[in-house]
Amino acid sequence: MQCLEHNGEVEITGVSDFDLARIFECGQCFRWNPDESGAYTGVALNRAARVRRFGESIFISGTADDFETYWRSYFDLDRDYAGIRQQLCIDEFMRRATDYGAGIRILRQDKWEALCSFIISQNNNIPRIKGIIDALCRLYGEAFEFERRVHHTFPTADRLSRLTPEDLAPIRSGYRAEYIISAASDVATGKISLEELAGSSPAVACAGLKKLHGVGDKVANCTALFGLNILDAFPMDVWMKRAISEHYSPKFDPKVFSPHAGIAQQYIFHYVRNHK
């Protein structure tokens, strides 16, 4: 991988398996949006960036220092996804799924933002999830300017812990408001340590997360995979249950994909969702 800074962007070459739409539209994040050119602009890690692809190069707004400090890790650019795809090809179904999903990467997102976002995602569709999160950030995040537009950081757990459900009424999150505030309080006071859970196994992390009010199996596993970067976590939803039922035996164990079961899950999810 090589990095060259010019014209307010960093050009990255030598990276395989990097598809903007597949990364940002696979359900793992909610604050990146495309423009008519196919570039994506979003807010992550308390800063904004514009990411585009031209030929074999990836362009990320900012300096080389910005790239090394934030985006290199955020986009998991030092992981060999092509090699992982080969390891996951345990049968013909996975061969099709990994080929179709080539370009997906698991982002290294802020732990609290991921937890809060997946609490909001319960029984919700992606457009509405994005709308609620955008409203939450506009109300309680910090405003800053990027490319002549005002953006907002994701509000901290401490900030949200001091709110009431009535304070969250404008974002129209419904019953999830109590879950958001309760989780924020537990994180802000140290009752739960997302940092400690991030260094544990999927089972331990999910057990800890499920102690939070309103957090069940799916939210816990999504948070473990997409927020705590526990790559063996294996979220299950309707699509995944259908895929496992159709292609594997009732005794199926995600450990067959270890230590990258979560990456396998993304390939399966993306494939079956687009092959109805």
Q: Which two tokens stand for residue 85?
A: 């795809």
Query: What local confidence, expressed as pLDDT, does residue 276 receive?
Result: 63
**Secondary structure letter of residue 156 according to DSSP:** P
pLDDT number for residue 249: 87
- Per-residue pLDDT for 41 more than 80? yes
Q: Answer whether residue 195 shows pLDDT above 90.
A: yes
Q: Identity (one letter) of the amino acid at 57?
A: S
Determine the average pLDDT of the residues in 86-95.
96
Sign of the alpha-carbon torsion through 12, 17, 20, 23: negative
How would you label 228-251 residue by residue, b for 16+ Cβ within 10 Å and e otherwise? bbbbbbbbbeebbeebbeeeeeee
Are 50 and 43 spatial neighbours (Cβ–Cβ below 8 Å)? no
* Neighbour tally for 256: CB within 10 Å: 13
pLDDT over 70 percentage in the chain: 100
Residue 40 confidence (pLDDT) above 70: yes
Q: Which tens digits make up the pLDDT trace of 229-260? A: 999 999 999 889 999 999 998 899 999 999 99
Percent of the chain at pLDDT exceeding 90? 94
d(CA 175, CA 179): 7
pLDDT score at 130: 97
* Structural domains of the chain, with CATH: 2-78 (3.30.310.260), 111-226 (1.10.340.30)
pLDDT of the residue at 250: 86
* Arithmetic mean of pLDDT over the chain: 96
Kindly give the interhelix angle for 111-120 and 217-226, rounded to the nearest 10 degrees. Answer: 150
User: Residue 100 and residue 177: Cα distance in Å, rounded?
Assistant: 37
pLDDT of residue 275: 80
Q: Where in the chain does DSSP place strands (E)?
A: 2-6, 9-13, 32-34, 40-44, 47-54, 57-61, 143-146, 149-152
